Amino acid sequence: MNAPSPPLATLENEHPAKSQGLLVWQRFRHNRAGLLAGAVLVALALAVLFAGFLSPYTSSAFHEDANSVAYDYVPPMLTWLHFDGLQPYVYALKRTYNPLTGVKGYAEDGDQRYDVRWFVRGEAYRLLGLFQTNVHLLGTGEPPTSAGQLFLLGTDRFGRDLWSRILYGGRVALGMGPLVVLISFAFGILMGGLSGFYGGLTDTWIQRLVEVAMSLPRLALLLALSATLPPELPPQARFWGIVFILVIVGWAPLARVLRGQVLALREEEFVQASRALGAGDLRLIFRHILPNTLGYLVVAATLAAPSVILLESVLSFFGFGLQEPLVSWGVLMGDLLENFQYQIQFHPWLILPGVFIFVSVLAFNYLGDALRDAIDPFTVVKGAQT
């Protein structure tokens, strides 16, 4: 008892205590792919948040020339961006017509040159939904009817700028993933927790419910369900309808896995000890059991987000999901569907939103994988100091 013990301070210096979070971060830091994926997602999130500023136009502005003829289906102008030293410039748009195929197109008009300027004033928008402004990062600063426009990724059939629409559309696509995951996880945690913690009749009934939910054909049912949303529904209501539908098909697998974990944790000594100390059910669940499933939940959430993005895009692509004026990447690609064979042949840049779906899903998958490795305490990290 009274034997001299080594001073605490030196002990701590030799083996500084590391929090769980710090350990996870140290393992995560060494996964280059995971870091890159995280960076891509952060960049995408920032890009869609500041969509109005980063895009030369707004998502819904139609563009037409002085004769009120729309600049429809302008091809991506990325390759038409020229440089005079460091000063980028574009030429005016000139309409072309191919008598052989009957297809209208555009070409550069070498006579008129328009400089691409930084921080130009253009179409008005709300920055972050708060401040009314009209400053855009890039643009030609020309009036809407001018031929000197900057359609970096081309336009759609009404002359709306695809790059701007992709940025705005990312808000829905990237926002809906976390939103649906949050709601369906809250519900799944509740059901799985109740089922595992109380057992007995509650467990039986919830498990039957899970069984039914997991026997429902996801995509086919989603299509049928969203077909029941009346077309005259306002876009906002439709958005929440789609969220609700995605939650219905999303909660069950999580509830099942969580039930198993809660079932196992319920019998652990630390839970028993807490119970013996007189802790109530709620305290046991939220204070002792759920935090122990947190690692799994974080990984599952990261890996569930891409499937939500995918389902929303598929629904919207086929015209069953969101509708104008709300745009998402799926809605944008849906422009291809009407007269598909013609569109794919002559306006292939309408596929570009799909690239963004792909990149964000890829990033979520990589991030989820890296997180799983980082949270697993048995992962051996090369070069990590222990």
Least distance from C-beta 300 to other proteins, angstroms?
16
Stretch that binds other proteins, among 185-193, 212-220, 264-272, 374-382 (CB under 8 A): 212-220
Which of 221, 264, 273, 294 touches other proteins by CB under 8 A? 221
Least distance from C-beta 32 to other proteins, angstroms?
11
Residue 233 within binding range of other proteins, rule CB under 8 A: no
Residue with tokens 């359609």: 151
Question: Who contacts 190 (Cβ-Cβ below 8 Å, separation ≥6)?
Answer: none
Q: Interaction with other proteins in 336-355: which residues (CB under 8 A)?
A: 336, 339-342, 344-345, 348, 351, 354-355
* Cβ distance to other proteins smaller for residue 147 or 301: 301
10 Å CB burial of residue 299 (0-12, 13-18, 19+) is: buried
Which of 60, 202, 365, 379 touches other proteins by CB under 8 A? 365
Residue 181 within binding range of other proteins, rule CB under 8 A: no
Which of 225, 254, 285, 326 touches other proteins by CB under 8 A? 225
Which of 219, 237, 273, 294 touches other proteins by CB under 8 A? 219
Q: What's the rounded Cα separation, in Å, for the pair 377 and 384?
A: 13
Least distance from C-beta 207 to other proteins, angstroms?
12
Which of 285, 361, 371, 374 touches other proteins by CB under 8 A? 361
Residue 314 within binding range of other proteins, rule CB under 8 A: yes
Q: What's the rounded Cα separation, in Å, for the pair 188 and 253?
A: 8
* Cβ distance to other proteins smaller for residue 8 or 380: 380
Stretch that binds other proteins, among 7-15, 40-48, 196-204, 359-367 (CB under 8 A): 359-367
Residue 237 within binding range of other proteins, rule CB under 8 A: no
Q: What's the rounded Cα separation, in Å, for the pair 64 and 60?
A: 13
Residue 357 within binding range of other proteins, rule CB under 8 A: yes
Which of 16, 85, 143, 230 touches other proteins by CB under 8 A? 230
* Cβ distance to other proteins smaller for residue 182 or 214: 214
Residue 176 within binding range of other proteins, rule CB under 8 A: no
Residue 317 within binding range of other proteins, rule CB under 8 A: yes
Q: How far is CA 243 from the centre of its chain?
A: 14
* Cβ distance to other proteins smaller for residue 210 or 289: 210
Number of shown-chain residues binding other proteins (CB under 8 A)? 44
Q: What's the rounded Cα separation, in Å, for the pair 356 and 370?
A: 21
Which of 23, 36, 45, 103 touches other proteins by CB under 8 A? 103
Q: Shortest CA distance to 188 belongs to which of 99, 115, 261, 282?
A: 261
Q: What's the rounded Cα separation, in Å, for the pair 38 and 33?
A: 9
Residue 313 within binding range of other proteins, rule CB under 8 A: yes
Q: Interaction with other proteins in 279-308: which residues (CB under 8 A)?
A: 306
Which of 280, 358, 377, 384 touches other proteins by CB under 8 A? 358
Residue 76 within binding range of other proteins, rule CB under 8 A: no
| Residues binding other proteins (CB under 8 A) | 101-103, 211-212, 214-221, 223-225, 227-228, 230, 306, 310, 313-314, 317-318, 333, 336, 339-342, 344-345, 348, 351, 354-355, 357-358, 361-362, 365-366, 369
